[in-house]
Amino acid sequence: MAQGARVVREYVQRGHIAQTLQAMPIAAKRLRVAAYCRVSTDDEEQLNSYKTQVEYYTAFIKSKPEWEYVDTYADEGITGTSARKRKEFQRLIKDAMDGKIDLILVKSVSRFARNTCDSLSTIRDLREKNVKVFFEKENIDSLDPKCDMILSIYSSLAEEESRSISTNVRWAHNKRVERGEVVFNFRNLYGYTQDEEKNVSVLEDEAEIVRDIYHKYLIGYSIAELCRDLTARGVASPYGNDRWHFSTLEKMLANEKYAGDVILRKTYQRDFLAERRVKNTGQAPQKYVDNNHPAIIDRATWNAVQAEIERRGNIRTSEETGKGRYDMRYVFSGLIECGDCGAKFRRHNYTYKGKVERVWTCKEHIRGNKHCPQLPIKEEMLEQAFTRTFNGLLADRNRALKAVEDSVVEAMLEADDGTGTAEEIAGVDAEIERLQAKMIDLSRQRARREIDGEVYSQSTQEVKERLDALFEKRDDLADAQSAGALSVARRKMIAELLATEQAQDEFDKDVFAKLIEAVRVYSRAEIIFIFKDGSEVKADLGAEAA
């Protein structure tokens, strides 16, 4: 039997969108028609589906002479659980509400929305404007009075599917956290880069900037001053901007990744419908991965900076408002304390015979002489007093160095005497993990009814009390370790500075910031400089004391 000529023709199966739409009443004017497409991931398979959806609906609408093609709105790689995140979806709804669209074609309910509330409320809003939405797979016409119940069922199924997918993804993520697997793009972290095999390496040019930031913060620079310094030097920010922002440096100084470590699950998602991840403050278990990648900041400096952050956090309040921020806008800011009442000094400018004088005054004295009799002191006098005092130390450099080196050894012994070592912290961590596992085991025994409620309550209460004590002990050990590291770092810095600096002809702001912890003023004739190693030196006031 001879085969006829091969012919390719249109075929419309039963229930096909074309057949269904043909049965709908024909409008007196051409319908303005648009399509909406969406895929939720960037996987190659889904991207192919996305491209196919867009091409199909665009060609299909244009093939109908009775239709006027408006646009194909398409969201690529975006979840359907939230309408707010989908820019193209928002544009579609706005155009429809503005009267630009009569009919919207969608492949399925799940492509339109996986959130039942979003789906129904949007359909009802469009219905008010007489805009029809047709779902091809489910063969649903939104203008049909019976569609709400059917649509709610399909939307609920789509939402439940998202819940199931989210649960599976979260389970896999939890397993990766338990194994300590780090999933992080280090190309987005200043100072680091990452190759295609996920190998992490240090970008030395940027790493030097990071080390400089940590070093200057440790010697007394405020974050605000660091911002001004980096901006003035023309150093580009991590985002390529000319200006550095406070929040950028604040995060850099507290980021454990610069010490080579990673904290897993810093944030978490409350549920699959939640739009944002929130900070994890104990709601989900975390893991700390030591030595995950090359460190830019050594461990001692890292611990010292964290202790300095904690220290500054405890002194950043003001008496008047209870608020404030550690600032080093002026070199003496927050450092001068009154020997009479203990209050801090505040900087003032006043003009006398056309000359501007900068003075520092006790905050209590500002309120009145009856609150504190301490007299104001000129800034210039303080600068000259420090310069003479520092030069006096350098004149007997060997004796000063010997005293500081002895204090370094003492500080190292104190930091390593067993009260704050890494080994002790690791032991506490191991005990915490053991008790947490015991708590889980007790819950399982109770679920299997192997123990009664009274035994379960008593046992879990004992474990909780022990865990609370261990967490408190761990915090104390960590604080002691950080404080010890800060003390050692400071004393080493002082020793290095005394060994290398030369006598000063004028006040050096950086040298002062590196050396001095506080300035105690008893009177204009008696001023004490308190160094960062805890030692106190009486200021050489020279002729000023007369």
- Residue extents of the structural domains in the chain: 17-165, 186-273+282-314, 336-538
Q: List the structure tokens of 538.
A: 């009486």
Instruction: In whole angstroms, give the CA distance from residue 282 to residue 266.
Output: 10
Same fold for the pair 17-165 and 186-273+282-314: no
Average pLDDT over residues 440-461: 83
Instruction: In whole angstroms, give the CA distance from residue 466 to residue 30.
Output: 75
pLDDT at 256: 87
In the chain, the percentage of residues whose pLDDT exceeds 90 is: 14
pLDDT at 67: 92
Lowest mean pLDDT among 94-98, 112-116, 231-235, 362-366: 112-116
pLDDT level of residue 68 (50, 70, 90 thresholds) = very high
Lowest mean pLDDT among 15-24, 65-74, 167-176, 480-489: 15-24
Q: List the structure tokens of 62.
A: 């244009």
Q: What is the number of H-type helices and E-type strands within the chain? A: 16, 18
Instruction: In whole angstroms, give the CA distance from residue 57 to residue 164.
Output: 29
What is the homologous superfamily of the domain 17-165 according to CATH?
Resolvase, N-terminal catalytic domain (3.40.50.1390)
SS3 state of residue 14: coil
Check if the beta carbon of residue 164 is closer than 8 Å to that of residue 154: no
pLDDT tens-digit series, residues 122-150: 888 888 889 998 988 888 888 877 777 77
pLDDT level of residue 318 (50, 70, 90 thresholds) = very low
SS3 state of residue 40: coil
The residues that bridge with 193 in the sheet, in sequence order, are: 201
Of the candidates 57, 33, 37, the residue with the CA atom closest to the CA atom of residue 47: 37
Of the candidates 270, 305, 303, the residue with the CA atom closest to the CA atom of residue 284: 270
How many Å is the Cα radius of gyration of the chain? 35
The residues that bridge with 202 in the sheet, in sequence order, are: 192
pLDDT level of residue 323 (50, 70, 90 thresholds) = very low
Q: Which CATH architecture has domain 186-273+282-314?
A: Alpha-Beta Complex (3.90)
pLDDT at 426: 77
How many residues are given for the chain?
A: 546
CA distances from 396 to 401, 403, 420 (A): 9, 11, 35
> Cβ of 188: how many Cβ atoms within 10 Å?
10
Each as own residue / partner, the long-range contacts of residues 342-346 (CB below 8 Å, 24 or more positions apart, any chain) are 343/319, 343/372, 345/377, 345/521
CA distances from 513 to 37, 366, 537 (A): 61, 26, 16
Lowest mean pLDDT among 89-98, 364-373, 494-503: 494-503
| Residue 187 vs residue 256, higher pLDDT | 256
DSSP letters for 360-384: EEEHHHHH-TTT--PPPEEHHHHHH
| Residue 315 vs residue 526, higher pLDDT | 526
Matching residue, tokens 């001692």: 300
pLDDT tens-digit series, residues 274-308: 456 666 665 566 667 778 888 898 887 888 788 77
pLDDT at 322: 41
Lowest mean pLDDT among 12-21, 229-238, 273-282: 12-21
Residue 29: DSSP 8-state: S
The residues that bridge with 194 in the sheet, in sequence order, are: 200
pLDDT at 272: 43
Average pLDDT over residues 478-500: 66
Instruction: In whole angstroms, give the CA distance from residue 106 to residue 312.
Output: 57
Instruction: In whole angstroms, give the CA distance from residue 71 to residue 74.
Output: 9
pLDDT tens-digit series, residues 405-417: 555 555 555 555 4
| Cα 238–Cα 241–Cα 243 angle in degrees, nearest 5 | 100
Which conformational region is residue 107 in: left (phi greater than 0), alpha (psi within -120 to 50 degrees), or beta? Answer: alpha
Please name the residue ranges forming H helices in 416-452: 422-447
